[in-house]
Amino acid sequence: MRGLQAKARGAALGAGLLALTVQVAQAAPARAAMSYYTTAQAERGAATYQQSCAVCHGADLGGAFDVPPLVGRFAANWAGAPLSQLFDYMAKAMPLFAPGTLTPAQNADLLAFMLRENGAPAGSRDLPATLDGLKNMMFPKSTPASVK
């Protein structure tokens, strides 16, 4: 008889824990998807890209000759890295034939464009144009299957 009572208590305890887990999960706020930039900012970045970057990286961001693509494996290489690192690299080393000539706002717009082309969602705020504003934002880990 004691064995049946212990099993019944165990089943009741398990059911109670399950109910509590479901209640906690329902009460927890849903995490919003991280948004990185505005659509308008990505469009500005697209225009700057065509003027300053496409000659080397290709009109479709696919790379050319020895120049790496800015989609696909590029996204995989940067996945999880702070956006501040990429922004800093862009500011110091790009464009290749005139490094450091783009403004911080232009680099932020370019970064927004690159994020969009790699599947990051748009939001309601422009991507910051400062290292400090970008240090806690990470390059997204997932990209759409259609990206090169």
> 148 in a domain, yes or no?
no
What was the pLDDT predicted at 44?
98
Q: What CATH number is given to the structural domain containing 106? A: 1.10.760.10
Residue range 58-68, pLDDT digits in tens: 999 999 888 99
What was the pLDDT predicted at 31?
36
Q: Does 52 lie in the same domain as 17? A: no
Q: How sure is the predictor about 33, in pLDDT bands with cuts at 50, 70 and 90?
A: low
Q: Does 127 lie in the same domain as 56? A: yes
> 120 in a domain, yes or no?
yes
> 145 in a domain, yes or no?
no
Length of the chain: 148
Q: Does 43 lie in the same domain as 25? A: no
Arithmetic mean of pLDDT over the chain: 81
> 21 in a domain, yes or no?
yes
What was the pLDDT predicted at 145?
45
- When mean pLDDT is compared across 19-23, 111-115, 137-141, the lowest value belongs to 19-23
Domain count, the chain: 2
Residue range 78-97, pLDDT digits in tens: 999 999 999 999 999 999 99
What is the rounded CA–CA span in Å between residue 43 and residue 41?
Answer: 5
> 70 in a domain, yes or no?
yes
Q: How sure is the predictor about 27, in pLDDT bands with cuts at 50, 70 and 90?
A: very low
pTM, entire model: 0.74
Report the first-to-last Cα separation within the chain, whole angstroms: 66
Domain membership of residue 112 as a residue range: 39-134
Q: Does 75 lie in the same domain as 26? A: no
> 5 in a domain, yes or no?
yes
Q: Does 113 lie in the same domain as 61? A: yes
How much of the chain exceeds pLDDT 90, in percent? 68
